[in-house]
Amino acid sequence: MSARHILPALLNGTVAGLLLVACTKSREEKDSEKSITEESRVKRGANGELIVALDAETQQRIGLKLESPAAAQWQPETTGHGRVLDPAPLAALVAELDSSRAAAEASRREYERLKILAEQDNASIRALQNAEAAAKRDQLLVESARTKLALGWGAPLSERSDLAAFVRSLTLGEVALVRLDLPAGEALRSLPLSARLISLSDPEHPVTTEFFDVATSVDPQTQGQGFLFLAKGKALAPGTAVTGYLKIPGEPLTGVIIPPAAALRHEGRAWVYVQAGDTGFTRREITLDRPADNGWFIAGGVTATDRVVVSGAQTPCSPKS
């Protein structure tokens, strides 16, 4: 398609910025931009790909910068959806367990005291029997609280030796428990290794979490397999809806990581411009579904030997597809 049909793109700092001069202009602007238009050529390659030709002077004038993508590997993953769990119900169960334990310890000591007194004929049999019944009752309450905790949150959590400290870190927001559910009918044969979380409020900054446990119940809405993950830091508030990318055991993918500034996005699609010779730049479509700490992981279409455009003019254009 000719340069007359190019549309504005939605990302800054790429070679597409030069295409602004190829956008349809008013007659009053054409004369002043004639020399620039002659310097720039926009055409289609043999496979229909867009190719932009920029001479050295033009590249310098628009501040064109190139970088080589970094070679990288990517652990296979699957997608789940979920939310950051509210720690209040867990804190209430732990408080109930601690309270019942304290009561059980007190009643046990009272029973032991009366038992000694009864042996010395200083306590009645009835008082001893009442104390024994109270001790057994309080111990059953401990077991009940422990069972509710295990059923609701899993044995690994309920059996932690630092349970009180762990719950305190949750209530203070120092760490967060996140539940992710797979789509209905999908199940993992092996436990996930970790997960990246993307929140709707901050999609550009994924949060890395570690696997914690398998969920003890099925979400009534999703009906999928559920997992719990632990996120450290104060990046996620309770109730935050997240999309999770669960890393699973398997052969890693080989690809590259491109800088964030290299990606142009428009109407749900994304591209990069790759240098082809001294003055040519080819547009290649990419998929931005694997955010990394320093860019985007790309499994195809771009290699570590390529040079991609990361900076150019501030008002980019891209061709209409």
Indicate whether 38 pLDDT > 50: no
Structure tokens at 301: 């279409």
Q: How much is the pLDDT for 54?
A: 86
Structure tokens at 208: 């890395």
Q: What single string gives the DSSP state of each residue in 203-269?
A: EEEEEEEEEEEE-SS--TTT-S-EEEEEEESSS--TT-EEEEEEE-SSPPEEEEEE-GGG-EEETTE
Q: Which has more pLDDT, 74 or 316?
A: 74
Q: How much is the pLDDT for 4?
A: 37
Indicate whether 33 pLDDT > 70: no
Find the mean pLDDT for residues 278-300. Answer: 85
Structure tokens at 204: 């550009």
Indicate whether 319 pLDDT > 70: no
Find the mean pLDDT for residues 120-131. Answer: 91
Q: How much is the pLDDT for 201?
A: 82
CATH code linked to domain 77-85+175-247: 2.40.30.170
CATH 1.10.238 fits 88-163, yes or no: no
What percent of the chain is modeled with pLDDT above 90? 36
Residue 312's pLDDT band (cuts 50, 70, 90):
low
Q: How much is the pLDDT for 243?
A: 92
Q: What single string gives the DSSP state of each residue in 54-94?
A: E-HHHHHHTT-EEEPPEEEEE--EEEEEEEEPPSHHHHHHH
Find the mean pLDDT for residues 71-99. Answer: 91
Find the mean pLDDT for residues 109-124. Answer: 91
Residue 185's pLDDT band (cuts 50, 70, 90):
confident
Q: How much is the pLDDT for 1?
A: 44
Most confident of 5-14, 34-43, 145-154: 145-154
Most confident of 96-110, 143-157, 196-210: 96-110
Indicate whether 35 pLDDT > 60: no
Average pLDDT, the chain: 81
Assigned architecture for domain 3-75+253-319: Beta Barrel (2.40)
Find the mean pLDDT for residues 72-90. Answer: 90
Domain with CATH 1.10.287 in the chain: 88-163
Residue 311 CA: distances (Å) to CA of 70, 132, 143, 236, 290 = 17, 79, 64, 32, 22
Q: Which has more pLDDT, 234 or 187?
A: 187
Q: How much is the pLDDT for 19?
A: 41
Indicate whether 103 pLDDT > 90: yes
Domain with CATH 2.40.30.170 in the chain: 77-85+175-247
Indicate whether 72 pLDDT > 80: yes
Q: How much is the pLDDT for 17?
A: 47
Indicate whether 316 pLDDT > 80: no
Domain with CATH 2.40.420.20 in the chain: 3-75+253-319
